[in-house]
Amino acid sequence: EALRHGRSLLPVGVIEVRGDFKRGAAVACRSVSGEEVARGLVNYSAAECRRIARRPTGEIEKLLGYVDAPEVVHRDNMVGR
């Protein structure tokens, strides 16, 4: 729902990660029903996104050993559908 209102995608909002991608790749962001709601440039790789999915932003450093950004996809790097 946050993406529909132009907000950034935080780790806690990531339910599932599909495919393999590197940091900086353009990815599709989908609703639980599978509808594409946005596309954006991701701040973490697919493997890293899987590790931080559904977790609070404050846990990123503990889980990954570093923080690139508090968002998985920042709203400035996202376009809605």
Q: List the CATH number of the domain containing 65.
A: 2.30.130.10
What predicted TM-score, i.e. pTM, was given to this entire model?
Answer: 0.91
Number of domains in the chain: 1
Position 19 confidence tier, pLDDT thresholds 50, 70, 90? very high
Per 3-state DSSP, the chain is made up of helix, strand and coil in percentages (nearest 5) of 30, 20, 50
Dump pLDDT digits (tens) for 30-79. 988 999 999 999 999 999 999 999 999 999 999 999 999 999 999 999 99
Asked if pLDDT for residue 4 goes beyond 90, the answer is no
**78 in a domain, yes or no?**
no
**For the residues 24-35, what does the mean pLDDT come to?**
94
The answer as to whether 13 is a domain residue is: yes
State the residue range of the domain holding 68. Answer: 3-73
Q: Residue 37: inside a domain, yes or no?
A: yes
Considering the domain boundaries, does residue 49 fall inside one? yes
- Token pair 């790789």 is found at 45
Q: Does residue 68 sit within a domain?
A: yes
| 53 in a structural domain | yes
**CB neighbours of 65 closer than 8 A, spacing ≥ 6?**
none
